[in-house]
Structure 1
Amino acid sequence: MYRRFLFLIFLFINLVSFAQDKNIAFKVVPLGVKGGIDESNLSAYMLAPVNSNNYVCLDAGTLHAGIEKAIGNKVFAVPAEVVLRKYIKGYLISHSHLDHLSGLIINSPDDTTKNIYAFSDCIETFKTHYFTWKSWANFADEGEAPQLKKYHYKVLNPGVEIPVENTEMWVKAFPLSHSNLTSTAFLVRNNDNYMLYLGDTGPDEIEKSRKIELLWQGIAPLIKEKKLKAIMIEVSFPDEQPDKTLFGHLTPHWLMKELNELEKLSGQGSLKGFNIVITHVKPPQSSIERIKKQLAAENELQLNLIYPQQGKMLNF
C-alpha cells in the first residue's frame, strides 16, 4: 500500500511537470542584460522555440562574453563559435546605439551569413557609420565598396509580420520613442505563441508620443487570449532620476504607469502573474537594488517580475 502511494505521488509530480513543460513555448538565453558601461554585459537575448536551436538575437550589445557565460552554465554543450555561427540565425536590432549592436560589429569577422532586421533609419546607420572601411569593414551586402556580403539587411515596416529566415518564427515590429531616435518593439511569433521585446523606450507622456499606447493596443488581444508569454521591457533608472534626464528611458514609476494603461485595454486582472522581464538596468549596483525595491513596492498589478541573469536560460 505504501509503495503504491509513493508511486501515485511520483506519477502525479511527473504529470504536473509534463503539463507545465507543454505550456512552455520559448526559451531565452540572456547574453547581456545591462545598460550602461559594462561592455561585457550589454543588451542581447537569444530567443528560440523551446524545441529548437534556431535562435534569433534580440539586440546584440554583447555576444561572445555572454555565450561563454551560457556555456559555463551548461546552457550550451557546444563551443562558443558554434553558437555564434550556427545557432544564431539572425539579428533583430532595436536601434542604432552602440550598447545594442557593438557585439555584432566586433564578432562579425567570425560570424556566418545571416540577416540583420531593423527599421530603415537603423540600417542606414549601419551603412554610414559602422560597416564602413574607416571604422571597421563592410561585412554587409550594401553600402561602401568593397562589400564583403556576409550580412543582408532586411528593412522592417511597422505592423507588417515577416518570417525570421532559417527559424520557425515570425516578427512584427512596432516603433518606440527613444529621445532623438526611433527604437523598436519586436513581437515574435511561433505558431500561436508570442514574445514581446522592447528596445529602449521612454514613457509616452515624457516623449510626447503615443507609441507605447499603440503598441499596447496591438498586443492587448494576445494577453486576453493568453497567447503572449512575456514582455521584455527596460527599466534603466530608479525613480530618483529626474524626468528631464531620462533620455528616452523608463523608471519603475513610469513602467507601472504604462502597464496600468495596458491592463485597461486587456482587462482588469489580466496581468496578475504575467511575466515581465526587466531589461537594461543601469549600474551601479546600488541603483539596481533601488530599482528592484521600487518595482516591488509599486507592483499593484501583481506582475511576475523577472530579473534575467547573463548566461542563465529562461523558459516561457
Structure 2
Amino acid sequence: MRVLVNFLLVFLFLCRVSAFSQNAFKIVPLGVKGGIDESNLSAYMLAPANSSNFVCLDAGTLHFGIEKAVEKGVFKAPAEQVLRKYIKGYLISHSHLDHLSGLIINSPEDTTKNIYAFSDCIETFKTRYFTWKSWANFADEGETPQLKKYHYKVLIPGNETPIENTEMSVKAFPLSHSNLTSSAFLVKSQDRYILYLGDTGPDEIEKGHNLELLWQSVAPLIKEKKLKAIMIEVSFPNEQPDKTLFGHLTPHWLMKEMDDLEKLTGAGSLKGFNIVVTHVKPPQSSIGRIKKQLATENKLQLNLIYPQQGKPIEF
C-alpha cells in the first residue's frame, strides 16, 4: 500500500509539472514591423494553445499577414474565413494608423465583433476613421448612419475585462507614447498570461512612471512563473538621438527597463525569460544593428525572439 501511495504521489507531481510546462498560448504574427511597410505592420493573433478563438493585438496589417499564415499551413481555411471566423475581437493599443489601418481597410469583409481600447483611442475611431468622409461608419456609435458591425468596449486602466467569444480576459495599462497615450495589454487564459505593449518610450525620456507601474504589476506573475512572455517594441538602434525617439525604445532603453524589472523580480529571475521584440523599423541595416546591439547588451540572458510574419509562436 505504501508503495502504491508513493507511486500515486509521484504520478500526480509529474502530471502537475507536465501541465505547467505545456504551452499556454499561440501567437500568429500578421505584421511585425514599424515604419513604412504597409504589408507588415503591427498585428498579432493570440489564442489559448488549445483554441481557435483569437483576439488580435493591434491591427496594422490583417489580410496580407493572414495570407502568409495560410501559405505556411497555420490555417487550413481561406484568408477571408480566418478574418471573419477566427478573429473574435481587436485590442487596439493606440490610434496611430500603423496599428489599426488593417482593421479599417478590411472592415467591409469583416464580421460583427468588439474593438477594445482606451476611451481616447475609441474617440479617434468615432471622429476620424469610421466617418463617412474618410471611409464609412462600420461601428454602432458615432456618425449616422451606423452600420453596427463593430461595438466599442472602453477599457478602464487596471480593470479585468472578458474578451467576448474567447476564453481570455484582459487588463489594460497606460503607456506614454510621445504626444498620446498608448497601452499595454495583460491577457489572461486560466492562470497564465501574455503581456503585449503598444508603442512606448522609456520612463526617463517620457518623464513619467508608466513602465515602472507596469513592471510593479507584472513582477509577481514573473516570480510565480505565470507570465509566459513580454511582447515589447524596439523601434530604433542606439544611434537614434533621445530627442527624436518620439515615444519609442532602443536596445539600450529596453535593457534599461529590463534592469528595472529585474530589481522587482530578483537577481537572475529573467534568465531565459521570453522577450518578443516588436515594431522594429526598416531599413534592413537598422534591423541588423538592433539585433547586434540587443545581443551585446543582453546581460540578463533574456530569450530574445524576433517574430516573423505568418510564422506561429507558442509559449
What TM-score comes out, normalization by structure 2 length? Answer: 0.94
Report the count of equivalent residues: 301
Runs (4+) of structure 1 exceeding 3 A deviation are 18-22
The amino acid across from 1:304 in the alignment is: N
Find the aligned partners of 1:298 and 1:258 in 2 and give their Cα distance. 12
Find the aligned partners of 1:300 and 1:19 in 2 and give their Cα distance. 30
Q: How does 1:48-59 map to 2 (within 5 A)?
A: 48-59=47-58
Name 1:202's counterpart in structure 2.
201
Structure 1 residues 142-201: Cα deviation after superposition (integer angstroms, max 9, x where no partner): 000000000000000000001000000000000000000100000000000000000000
Note the C-alpha offset of 1:23: 1.8
Find the aligned partners of 1:289 and 1:156 in 2 and give their Cα distance. 36
Name 1:47's counterpart in structure 2.
46
- Give structure 1 stretches of 5+ with no counterpart: 1-14
Name 1:6's counterpart in structure 2.
none
Find the aligned partners of 1:209 and 1:98 in 2 and give their Cα distance. 24
Q: How does 1:1-316 map to 2 (within 5 A)?
A: 19=18, 22-316=21-315
Give the CA RMSD over aligned residues.
Answer: 1.4
Tell me the secondary structure at the aligned position of residue 230 of structure 1.
Answer: strand
Name 1:4's counterpart in structure 2.
none
Find the aligned partners of 2:39 and 2:89 in 1 and give their Cα distance. 21
Find the aligned partners of 1:87 and 1:55 in 2 and give their Cα distance. 6
The amino acid across from 2:208 in the alignment is: S
The amino acid across from 1:104 in the alignment is: L
Find the aligned partners of 1:168 and 1:19 in 2 and give their Cα distance. 21
Structure 1 residues 13-67: Cα deviation after superposition (integer angstroms, max 9, x where no partner): xx9xx94995200000000000000000000000000000000000000000000
The amino acid across from 2:56 in the alignment is: C
Find the aligned partners of 2:281 and 2:18 in 1 and give their Cα distance. 37
Find the aligned partners of 2:99 and 2:162 in 1 and give their Cα distance. 22
Find the aligned partners of 2:179 and 2:103 in 1 and give their Cα distance. 23
The amino acid across from 1:196 in the alignment is: L
Find the aligned partners of 1:259 and 1:89 in 2 and give their Cα distance. 32
The amino acid across from 1:181 in the alignment is: L
Tell me the secondary structure at the aligned position of residue 226 of structure 1.
Answer: coil
Find the aligned partners of 1:243 and 1:225 in 2 and give their Cα distance. 35
Quote the sequence identity (%): 83
Find the aligned partners of 1:22 and 1:195 in 2 and give their Cα distance. 15
Note the C-alpha offset of 1:127: 0.2
The amino acid across from 2:28 in the alignment is: V
- Give structure 2 stretches of 5+ with no counterpart: 1-13
Find the aligned partners of 1:294 and 1:268 in 2 and give their Cα distance. 22
Tell me the secondary structure at the aligned position of residue 232 of structure 2.
Answer: strand
Find the aligned partners of 1:298 and 1:153 in 2 and give their Cα distance. 41
